[in-house]
Structure 1
Amino acid sequence: TTEPPTDSPVAEPTTGSPTESPSESPSESPINQLTESPIDSQPDPTNDPSSPGTRGGVPEGYSLVWRDDFDGNDINRDYWSRGLIYDVNPEQHVLWDPKLGGPHLLSELYDGYILDKNVVVQDGVMQLINREEDPPIEGTWPEGTFTHSSGFANSLHKVYFNGSRQGKGNYVELRARFPPGNVGKVWSAIWLVPESENWPPEIDIWEYFGIFFDPQWGVDQMQWRIRYGWYGNTTAAKVRTPNYQERFGATYHVFGWLWTSEEMRWYIDDEEVGHMVRGRELVRWRWPDEDMAFVLQNGLMESVSPNDPAMTTEFPNRLNIDWMAVYEKQ
């Protein structure tokens, strides 16, 4: 069988160099110009203690260092910026494709114009929304016509950590529901990028593909990946769970991830589902060892048609996050 492309990450710039940037300044991009339409909300009973996804498992010896319960009416701006930029200084941002991307599109692999309106906090839940746009959006950066929009948020320069720091380790836990139902085009992820704004490395903690670029490479997959190498030439160590919705159900779960200098472990409702060991899946000198910040996304796969009967996608769809927490070994 044909293998999936090795250079198809969540944050894969495909051309240029790490120091290249578009000729325009990010601060000149009208990032908020298309947010006037009202938010269509769907309240969820996510805080019901009897609902699924309540079991976690913080490792012994780890103490809480950060938590967000999304209790307000908007994102906590001490923790999050909308989209890909650092909202205190928009010239600092998650590294996007310098030729084909911009503040509203990470790279040509995506098909949803990133808009602020698609990051909503309501009823104690952060919602990252994909939606159809009628009339289509006439994009400014990058230019183009977009029939869909997506929701992204990031914690660059606000919340970051390094689980490989000597003698330490970090454990991330969150309660979330990935988009349920017919989601062939959906590309949802909770991932990490360097606080330095370089790339790689990249750690895809939880990355859901309705279709992994092409049906022959897999459908309904949850993947965990470490991307490494250098700009323009990367590869990935990965673990995957096929048939995610069939196996776990399209409902809320508690997702856990342990990162130390020697291993990474992934959990769903306190059940271990993935494990990587430094020097086994990944040579020792490639193991990530720097401060990393969160990117939260509900994106769309450019290569998947939303109208193909075999790849039907329902809109709007949502990645819902009830709470997130980071623990550190003491």
Structure 2
Amino acid sequence: MRSALLVLFALVAVVCAEPAPIKPEDLGYHLAWSDEFDGTNLDLTKWQTNYAPKVHPLGCNGELQAYAPENAIVRDGKLRLRADHSPREGMAYTSGMVASHDKFSQHYGWFETRVKLPHGRGLWPAFWLLPESRQWPPEIDIMEHKGSLLNHVWLTVHRPQPNTWRPKSDGQEWTGPDFTADFHTFAVDWRPDRVAWFVDGIERHQSRADADFGPMYVILNLAVGGQWDGNPDGDTPFPATMEIDYVRVYRLPDGAAPR
């Protein structure tokens, strides 16, 4: 009887086990653009440290930071986006961001980063895509996080709707490990008819609908305060840091179909 129960438990474990992580190469993709952050300075041939003009009509969502180039720090093989409780440009905080507008954009493909997120109420790290055309929507949020909810991430696409600037949003709040305790990978597989989100190589959300958004560029930023997670409180640590190990973008060979 005991042996039979052990066999049953083993079968249940197999059925309930997570699928094997997927790599972009498994789907036929090859590396098109990347930054491994191996130098001592941010590569300005790849990145800007401010938003592109005309981001979208929602403005800054009540955020409290001014972005400063010196808050995007490359050291020891990592990019660190640092938020400080120091005023600038009428804002109470400074923080860091990088964006590839006017440097690199791509139409479809696999977009991935490996990152360790900061903890603390009012911290809003994100990895996302905006159209090089500057027309908003669309927007693909590969990962958004609230510093007060350590094991939650949000995976969202905002699509255009006819006759209004307000987007049609399709997203998933996904609960996993403590994303502030260690590094994790976040990626999207973006195709003409769908967007699929992967956390540590495992698909966690998929949105099937028209996704022909034109070329899009990459943004990583650490916002502070605003409408997402509220404003920092007395327990929010400063400086706070979003650590980025790499950013990699993959594409299919010309004429190839995805697997």
TM-score (norm 2): 0.79
Residues 24-81 of structure 1: CA deviation (Å, up to 9, x unaligned): xxxxxxxxxxxxxxxxxxxxxxxxxxxxxxx761233111111211111111111101
Percent identical pairs in the alignment equals: 25
Matched, 1:223 2:157: no
Tell me if structure 2 keeps the 8 A contact 1:81–1:153.
Answer: yes
Where does residue 70 of structure 1 map in the other structure?
A: 37
Matched, 1:95 2:55: yes
Residues 242-268 of structure 1: CA deviation (Å, up to 9, x unaligned): 3x454x562101223211112222222
Which amino acid letter does the alignment assign opposite residue 131 of structure 2? P
Following superposition, the deviation at residue 97 of structure 1 comes to: 5.2
Q: What are the equivalent positions in structure 2 for 1:1-330 lying under 5 Å apart?
A: 57-58=23-24, 59-85=26-52, 93=53, 95=55, 107-133=60-86, 136-137=87-88, 139=89, 144=90, 146-163=91-108, 170-179=109-118, 181=119, 183-210=120-147, 221-229=152-160, 232-242=165-175, 244-246=176-178, 250-278=181-209, 284=210, 287-303=211-227, 304-307=230-233, 312-330=235-253
Following superposition, the deviation at residue 232 of structure 1 comes to: 4.5
Local SS of the residue matching 2:205: strand
Local SS of the residue matching 1:197: coil
Q: How many residues are treated as equivalent by the alignment?
A: 228
Considering only aligned residues, what root-mean-square deviation do their CA atoms show, in Å?
2.4
Following superposition, the deviation at residue 273 of structure 1 comes to: 1.7
CA distance in structure 2 between the partners assigned to 1:252 and 1:199 by the alignment? 31
Local SS of the residue matching 1:117: helix
Local SS of the residue matching 1:81: coil
Structure 1 residues 327 and 74: CA distance shift in structure 2, 3 A: same
What runs of 5+ residues in structure 2 fail to find an aligned partner?
A: 1-20, 254-259
CA distance in structure 2 between the partners assigned to 1:56 and 1:318 by the alignment? 28
What runs of 5+ residues in structure 1 fail to find an aligned partner?
A: 1-54, 86-92, 99-105, 164-169, 212-217, 279-283
TM-score (norm 1): 0.63
| Higher Cα radius of gyration | 2
